[in-house]
């Protein structure tokens, strides 16, 4: 209940600052629309926004699932083999040095203008945080627990499955919560580069037609989508960590 109260207070504060900025600067609505105007336009275009939000949500959801599975599997493989970790980790770090924004045109070229390129973007942007967080968790299992498991005659794969993975689930949860915030960024970048659907596309379209209020409404829809996704992933992660 307290969380909801804080969230509502923060929202009211944010909207007040926004409205104050509109009054102070006297900016016209095609530069900075007021919150009330954005709410009106958003409500009037709710079907349109919902249609595009559904596309973005699908891209983000699929990207999140694929990225999480790939990241988790990679982390387990790396934790299982010191040699593989020494070989692959520098490569992973190097791929992070290439901005995902710069890859968007290439991915659109390879995967087309449909959902695939946006899913690929979301996967790329979350793969490393998930891998890194889960790998850290897998490697942080206390040595004395592993010693005990060895004296019990545990095999490497069973120690991984029965001890290391359950122990590292809270870390995986942390990675997934980050991923839930990053994944929409990937999808929207993909939509900006080339798409005919999605909130990113709608924002660009609205901007091009000087419908800044619709652009703001789409932006808020994107923020709400991200918050809901984060909450959902946080709940699932907490349940997963509690076992």
* Cβ-based nearer residue to other proteins, 3 or 157: 157
* Cβ-based nearer residue to other proteins, 12 or 145: 145
* Cβ-based nearer residue to other proteins, 150 or 209: 150
* Cβ-based nearer residue to other proteins, 26 or 243: 243
What would the 3-class secondary structure string for 125-181 be? HHHHHHHHHHHHHHHCCCHHHHHHHHHCCCCHHHHHHHHHHHHHHHHHHHHHHHHHH
Name, in order, each residue with C-beta under 8 angstroms of 194's C-beta and a sequence gap of 6 or more. 105, 108, 113, 117
Angle between helices 199-208 and 165-193 (to 10 degrees): 30
If binding is defined by CB under 8 A, does position 236 make contact with other proteins? no
Asked whether 193 and 129 are in contact (CB, 8 A), the reply is no
Asked whether 199 and 223 are in contact (CB, 8 A), the reply is no
DSSP annotation of 112 reads: -
If binding is defined by CB under 8 A, does position 140 make contact with other proteins? no
Q: Site for other proteins (CB under 8 A): which residue of 149, 214, 219, 222?
A: 149
If binding is defined by CB under 8 A, does position 26 make contact with other proteins? no
If binding is defined by CB under 8 A, does position 139 make contact with other proteins? no
Q: Which stretch binds other proteins (CB under 8 A): 4-12, 89-97, 166-174, 210-218?
A: 166-174
Least spacing, CB of residue 168 vs other proteins, in Å: 11
If binding is defined by CB under 8 A, does position 86 make contact with other proteins? no
Q: From residue 177, give the alpha-carbon distance in Å to each of 78, 130, 196, 233.
A: 21, 9, 29, 6
If binding is defined by CB under 8 A, does position 243 make contact with other proteins? yes
Least spacing, CB of residue 160 vs other proteins, in Å: 11
Q: Which stretch binds other proteins (CB under 8 A): 32-40, 120-128, 154-162, 195-203?
A: 154-162
If binding is defined by CB under 8 A, does position 79 make contact with other proteins? no
Neighbours of 82 (CB within 10 A): 9
Q: Site for other proteins (CB under 8 A): which residue of 167, 194, 220, 234?
A: 167
If binding is defined by CB under 8 A, does position 99 make contact with other proteins? no
Q: What is the CA radius of gyration of the chain?
A: 22
Structure token digits, residue 163: 């001890």
| Start-to-end Cα distance in the chain | 25
Q: Which stretch binds other proteins (CB under 8 A): 44-52, 77-85, 95-103, 137-145?
A: 137-145
Residues lying near other proteins in the complex (CB under 8 A) are found at 142, 144-145, 147-155, 158-159, 162-163, 166-167, 169, 242-243
């Amino acid at each position: 209940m307290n969380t909801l109260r804080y969230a509502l207070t923060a929202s009211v504060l944010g909207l007040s600052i926004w409205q104050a900025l509109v009054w102070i600067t006297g900016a016209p609505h095609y530069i900075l629309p007021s919150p009330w105007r954005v709410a009106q336009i958003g409500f009037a275009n709710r079907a349109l926004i919902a249609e595009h939000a559904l596309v973005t949500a699908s891209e983000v959801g699929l990207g999140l699932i694929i990225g999480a599975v790939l990241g988790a599997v990679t982390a387990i493989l790396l934790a299982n083999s010191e040699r593989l970790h020494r070989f692959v980790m520098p490569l992973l770090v190097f791929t992070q040095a290439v901005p995902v924004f710069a890859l968007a045109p290439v991915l659109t070229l390879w995967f087309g203008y449909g959902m695939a390129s946006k899913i690929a973007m979301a996967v790329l942007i979350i793969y490393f945080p998930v891998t890194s967080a889960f790998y850290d968790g897998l490697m942080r299992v206390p040595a004395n627990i592993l010693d005990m498991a060895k004296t019990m005659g545990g095999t490497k794969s069973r120690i991984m499955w029965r001890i290391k993975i359950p122990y590292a689930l809270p870390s995986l949860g942390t990675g997934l919560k980050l991923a839930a915030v990053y994944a929409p960024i990937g999808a929207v970048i993909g939509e900006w580069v080339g798409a005919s659907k999605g909130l990113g596309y709608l924002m660009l379209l609205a901007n091009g037609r000087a419908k800044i209020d619709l652009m703001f409404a789409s932006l808020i829809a994107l923020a709400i989508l991200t918050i809901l996704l984060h909450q959902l992933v946080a709940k699932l992660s907490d349940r997963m960590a509690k076992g």
